[in-house]
Chains A and B, each alone.
Chain A
Amino acid sequence: MLYVVLFFLIFSLYLYVVLGGADYGAGIVELFSSEENQKITKKTIYRVMGPVWEANHIWIIILIVILWIAFPSYYNILVVYLHIPLTIVLLGVTLRGVAFVFRHYDAIIDNSQRLYDTLFKISSLITPIFLGMVFGGLISGEIVMVEDIETLTFYEVFINPWFNIFSILVGLFFASLCAFLSSVLLIGESESVHENIYIRKAAIATIVVFIVGLITFIYGYGAAHVFVKDFIKNPYSLISMLFSGLLLIPLWIAIKKGRRVLSRFFAGLQVFLILLAAIVAHFPGIIITKSENISLLENIAPESVIKVLGISLIIGGSVILPGLFHLLKSFKMIKILDRKDNPSA
């Protein structure tokens, strides 16, 4: 059953990164667009994300619940030492969700739209950066775990683990990944006249992802980060990264040929490979502190708990996944209908 639980943990992490990530990315793309393009993007985002964005963000709740039920000690480190960036993420999630709904459900359209838009765009950028910083913090080797916290300064224990160059780079990397995912998604969703906007965005995002990724590695290597060193030594991680890079070629061919489902599949696969590379690089010691590696598989919940959780996840999954699939499929259908009924839309 532990494997079922692990599967759902990684599965929901992946879906959150891809679906939630594309969702954050939409705001980032909007932020870095000209005023005119912002309007187009806003409309497209609403149409694409409207029905599904709430579902996209539930994956993080599933993720966190699995963590605290099955891996309580691991979760404990996360919430104690990375309290501050997690709180910022929460505020970001809150403001962003509220701004998204306000700008589409406010009964009167007036100047307050500007406020909602700004809030939406800024929090769309900041939230994934801090999420990335949390992950960066876990693997940064900067967490100090001591029995007697008072012997150290507040900065050493609660700030340095996430507020260091390596963690910040990981944060920026994740945000650019979000922008990349979203641009690829939006290519297929925009009207054909606007497609080029997102093709350009996708190209820029790809370059940014590559550059930030490279800087992270060079910096990590130079600073002798345990994670980066092990990453480079791990053949699986390297192969995954290599494949992820090579997939750029079929991805661009698919985009040029206007194959929107295929292009999304490639982009999703690329992100999966990047995530896989990061996870296997140091598995199961996913938390790297100053003094030790903490294994995800140590101090797990008792067998009885894992068993019940595994069964719940299988049952829950078999209810939710078909429903979600149907939702995604239905609204694609509806979009096609939209175009037929109303050619100007």
Chain B
Amino acid sequence: MENLDAARLQMAFTLIFHIVFACIGMVMPFFMVVSHYKWLKTKDQLYLTLTKSWQKGVAIFFVTGAVSGTALSFELGLLWPEFMKHAGPIIGMPFSLEGAAFFVEAIALGFYLYGWDKLPEKFHWFTGVIIGISGVASGVLVVAANGWMNAPSGFDYIDGQFLNIDPVQAMLNAAWATQALHMTLAAFTATGFAVAGIHAYQVYKGRKVALHTKAFKIAITFGAIAAILQPISGDLSAKDIAKRQPVKLAAMEAHYNTEKGAPLYIGGIVNAETQEVKYKVAIPKALSFLAFGDFDAEVKGLNDFPEDERPNVPMVHYAFQVMVGIGGLLLLAGILYFISIKKKKWLHMNVYWLLFVFLAPLGFIALEAGWIVTEVGRQPWIIHKIMRTKDAVTPMPGIIVSFYIYIVVYFTLSVAVTWLMTRQIKVLNSSK
């Protein structure tokens, strides 16, 4: 395997793991403070048990998110030294602010975890709120750096040099707002459904039903609201990409030839050689409408772009289909949940709980697929239209070795964290 491919794989895998840990660490504090709030209001012991159990989850995920994030902050340079040499100063601002937000989060977490019965009740609860807010702030800020790779701004690129650098303008790049909104909602959807699914399984098994139903309701409320809002954000993102990165949009839709009133392909098998998409469902003119708000707008096809500036079309197309498909499913499930608040008898049906168990991993699959769309869709560029990924990679050979080491360590870590969570639940179920 070439060094470039090994480096890309290592980056992809560490990001895939980090994103899961980081999202849970970012969203779970909100569940925790809601449960904590209910405990303070109702003095229902179950909420206290739940809060304390969730806080352990938050602590474990915060740390795994933090250490994998530390690893990433080094890996950016270790794997892509040429990229960081030039991009570092330009996109440093969101990173340094992210560092600050993350610091605030760590401080607040210290107060929260160790503050039970020691800090004033309201202040203690409030430190939990700060954990959540600063966590989301970190996420939003780090997406600004990724947004810049898609929509580079804040500098003049003259004769291979980055001149007149303006870090503020770089941070406020055109892709940031839509990407950050989409990612934040995705984090809430994915974590909401994942946590809800775990508790749904416990209810289905008949263990501590009252406790797990409360937990389920808190988590799914966040997940459902985010899932229902997500299509709006998705539409904003699509329109933005159509303008800024038409080649990415074309790859997402496996749209090879430029046409007016372009159809939207749902599913399908892409043959990159013959440029055919088989077994798809085509909705006439829908792509033009979704991308430009006009049924007859012209959508550029892949063939309008030089061959060495196109991403891997099948991968981007499939990932996009997976993301949108699951997004739609979770939207329906979210609506279903809100109906179930009225139809109380559903809560006694096994199939209701099983449905949410089945949905548990899907949010994260969609979230990862979304990142594949945005990252693979940007290739061959590491900085859109400025620097190619192959020109950024480290000169050190043998990255494949470190890739394997990372795979083993992160895989073990995931197994260990999962195992630890099952032990948490076991203890939770055997508690009084």
| Chain A contacts to B: CB under 8 angstroms | 50-52, 54-55, 57-58, 60-62, 64-66, 68-70, 72-73, 75-76, 78-80, 83, 86-87, 90-91, 93-95, 97-98, 100-102, 105-108, 149, 154, 157-158, 301-302, 304-305, 308-309, 312-313, 315-316, 319-320, 323-324, 327, 330-331, 334, 337
Contact = CB atoms under 8 A, between A and B. Distances in A.
Main secondary structure of the interface of B (DSSP, over half): helix
A65 B73 contact: yes
Contacts of B81: 76, 79-80
A324 B105 CA distance: 11
A93 B89 CA distance: 26
Interface in B169-196: none
A60 B164 CA distance: 29
A80 B396 contact: yes
The 9 A-B residue pairs with the shortest CB-CB distance in the complex, in nearest-first order: A69-B92, A316-B100, A79-B77, A301-B89, A68-B88, A107-B427, A51-B110, A54-B106, A97-B67
B71 A93 contact: yes
Contacts of A51: 110-111, 113-114
Interface in B65-90: 66-71, 73-78, 81-82, 84-86, 88-90
Contacts of A70: 89, 92
Contact of B111 (A91, A97, A107, A330): A330
Contacts of B420: 102, 105-107
B397 interface: yes
Interface in B396-432: 396-398, 402, 405, 409, 413, 416, 420, 423-424, 426-428
B89 A327 contact: no
A114 B397 CA distance: 37
17 contacts: A50-B114, A51-B113, A55-B103, A55-B107, A65-B96, A68-B84, A69-B89, A70-B92, A87-B78, A91-B409, A93-B71, A94-B70, A101-B60, A301-B92, A304-B164, A312-B100, A320-B100
A326 to B, nearest CB: 8
A105 B104 CA distance: 22
Interface in B106-160: 106-111, 113-115, 118-119
A316 B95 CA distance: 12
Contact of B84 (A72, A86, A87, A105): A72
A334 B118 CA distance: 7
B102 interface: yes
B99 A61 contact: yes
A107 B56 contact: yes
A320 B104 contact: yes
Contact of B424 (A72, A107, A315): A107
A54 B131 CA distance: 13
A278 B106 CA distance: 31
B76 to A, nearest CB: 8
A105 B95 CA distance: 30
A73 B109 CA distance: 35
A319 B114 contact: no
A70 B93 CA distance: 11
A114 to B, nearest CB: 15
Contacts of B76: 68
